[in-house]
Chains A and B, each alone.
Chain A
Amino acid sequence: MKQKRRVRVMVAKPGLDGHDRGARIIARAYRDAGFEVVYTGLHQTPEEIVEAAIQEDVDMIGLSSLAGAHKYLFLAVVELLREKAADDIVVCGGGIIPDDDIKRLKESGVKEVFTPGTPLDDIVKWVKHNITPRQD
């Protein structure tokens, strides 16, 4: 069967933050949009997330953080992907993140950041527009 490539994404919760309802809802929305979603669960280190993303060959990592450590954690993921020559994997983030930090994150390689109140449809639409399954 000549299949079209499916978009594969990973939804991950880095750090000590234990609030995963948002991440789960995002995962569900991605599934309903037809993506394959690997969910890693809570309390992941950036190293674990990057290793899992490489093993799963995902096109995007969606990181969720509501506990304030997003700058360190998100950028650590971006940096590790670069180190492992896997920076074709897009990194996005979501959570309670101040505007100044969003600017800084985007400058450093996080492709997009979604804050509370963003409609799920908008997030899904963004992914559909900006993430294409690996072509090579």
Chain B
Amino acid sequence: MNDIVEKVVAGDVRTVARLIRDIDDGMPEVRGILKDLYPHTGKAYVIGITGAPGVGKSTLVDQMVAHLRKRDKTVGVLAVDPTSPFSGGAILGDRVRMQRHSMDQGVFIRSLATRGHFGGLTQSTRSAIDVFDAMGKDYILVETVGVGQDEVDVVRSAHTTVIVVIPGMGDDIQAIKAGILEIGDIFLINKADREGSDKTLSDLRLMIEMDHKKYDRGEWKPPILKIQAVFDKGVAEFIDEIDKHAKYLAETAGGLDFRESKSKVRQELGEMIKARLIEEVIDRLTESGDFDRAVESIINGKIDPYTACENLVLPIVS
């Protein structure tokens, strides 16, 4: 086991690739390894990128990798794509836009499927971030489709959260308003050569200006940038904004090491407990057969699901 930790810290690609799969597959052995890796984490800068399907997240990530590599920074990419709720399979296609970096030893790209496990996406993605961190990647880019609480939580745990939109999706912005607008540290309007980019810009600006009291208190004011990721237009300026945000975090918002941030540790520990509890409880109930018996009873009309749930859970937690 220590052998694995050593290899990860030394940056061994095969070991890291296998470990991430073991994490994703919920292998119990990884817990010990993650414990031992923890002291080696806390150095990477994590950037979360989210937005609706088709706004250009993967293309943007590809350009970001190119820019960061020019600065001699090493990069880990976690690209999350949805699992089919019907078959359990997934097509992980984000690599298509990033393959030019696959021979670069300073870049590690890994595709993850959402898999639909109970709150597990957040957990396994965060563990994968820790692994990249421990292997010494300077930057870790996490890309998710911005739908569903899990995906939002994943990018929220980043140092800098980036929301990508495109012009002409007015209603889409309405949707984002309710969910993910408040988590954005930087907003990008990609494909900005398209009609309606000024309208999108003013919509976003209006939303952000409404929080002007926060900015008056010195809190970070999210910039909005028009970019064309596929032509690499505006990406350098975007990276500069990430630097500014990092500086803001370091100087005014309590530092860059997550492990020293009370709110991050609270959030992370809370999620860890949640995931572990569900895992332990469901495992116990399925192994004992109580779960299936309760399902039968509900179907046969012998019990209602609310009572069944209480009967299953309360004996375990009390």
Contacts from A to B (Cβ < 8 Å): 1-6, 8, 27-28, 30-41, 44-45, 47-48, 51-52, 54-57, 84-86, 133-134
By the criterion CB–CB under 8 Å, are B17 and A1 in contact?
no
By the criterion CB–CB under 8 Å, are A1 and B87 in contact?
no
- B67-126 residues with Cβ-Cβ distance < 8 A to A are 83-84, 86-93, 95-97, 99, 102-103, 108-111, 113, 115, 117-118, 120
From B20, B87, B91, B118, contact of A39 by CB (8 A): B91
By the criterion CB–CB under 8 Å, are B25 and A52 in contact?
no
Closest CB of chain A to B104's CB: distance in Å?
9
Closest CB of chain B to A3's CB: distance in Å?
4
Known: A1-B26, A31-B84. A37 touches B103 (CB 8 A): no
Contacts from B to A (Cβ < 8 Å): 13-14, 17-18, 20-21, 25-26, 28, 83-84, 86-93, 95-97, 99, 102-103, 108-111, 113, 115, 117-118, 120, 278-279, 282-283
Closest CB of chain B to A43's CB: distance in Å?
9
CA distance A33 to B113 in the complex (A): 15
Task: Jot down 23 A-B pairs with beta carbons below 8 A, ordered by A.
Answer: A1-B117, A3-B25, A5-B21, A8-B21, A28-B91, A31-B91, A32-B84, A32-B87, A32-B89, A33-B89, A35-B89, A36-B113, A37-B89, A37-B90, A38-B111, A41-B96, A41-B99, A51-B102, A52-B109, A56-B92, A56-B111, A84-B14, A133-B25
From B14, B83, B97, B99, contact of A52 by CB (8 A): B99
By the criterion CB–CB under 8 Å, are A27 and B109 in contact?
no
Closest CB of chain A to B94's CB: distance in Å?
9
Closest CB of chain A to B292's CB: distance in Å?
16
Residues of B within 8 A of A5 (CB): 21, 25
CA distance A6 to B93 in the complex (A): 17
Closest CB of chain B to A125's CB: distance in Å?
15
From A1, A35, A54, contact of B283 by CB (8 A): A1
Residues of B within 8 A of A44 (CB): 99
CA distance A48 to B14 in the complex (A): 15
Known: A1-B282, A56-B111. A48 touches B103 (CB 8 A): yes
Residues of A within 8 A of B13 (CB): 54-55
By the criterion CB–CB under 8 Å, are A3 and B92 in contact?
no
By the criterion CB–CB under 8 Å, are A1 and B278 in contact?
yes
By the criterion CB–CB under 8 Å, are B18 and A41 in contact?
no
Instruction: Beyond A32-B84, A34-B89, A54-B14, list 5 extra A-B contacts (CB 8 Å).
Output: A27-B91, A32-B86, A37-B89, A38-B95, A51-B103
By the criterion CB–CB under 8 Å, are B17 and A36 in contact?
no
CA distance A55 to B79 in the complex (A): 12
By the criterion CB–CB under 8 Å, are A3 and B117 in contact?
yes
Question: Nearest 5 pairs between A and B by C-beta?
Answer: A41-B96, A31-B89, A57-B17, A3-B26, A57-B21
From A30, A38, A48, A57, contact of B20 by CB (8 A): A57
Which B residue's beta carbon lies closest to that of A136? B18
Known: A1-B26, A1-B282, A6-B88. A54 touches B95 (CB 8 A): no
From A30, A54, A85, contact of B17 by CB (8 A): A54
By the criterion CB–CB under 8 Å, are B92 and A2 in contact?
no
Residues of A within 8 A of B17 (CB): 54-57
Residues of A within 8 A of B115 (CB): 3, 6
Which B residue's beta carbon lies closest to that of A31? B89
Which A residue's beta carbon lies closest to that of B17? A57
By the criterion CB–CB under 8 Å, are A48 and B102 in contact?
yes
Closest CB of chain A to B57's CB: distance in Å?
16
From A34, A39, A55, contact of B108 by CB (8 A): A55
Known: A1-B282, A55-B13, A57-B20. A37 touches B26 (CB 8 A): no
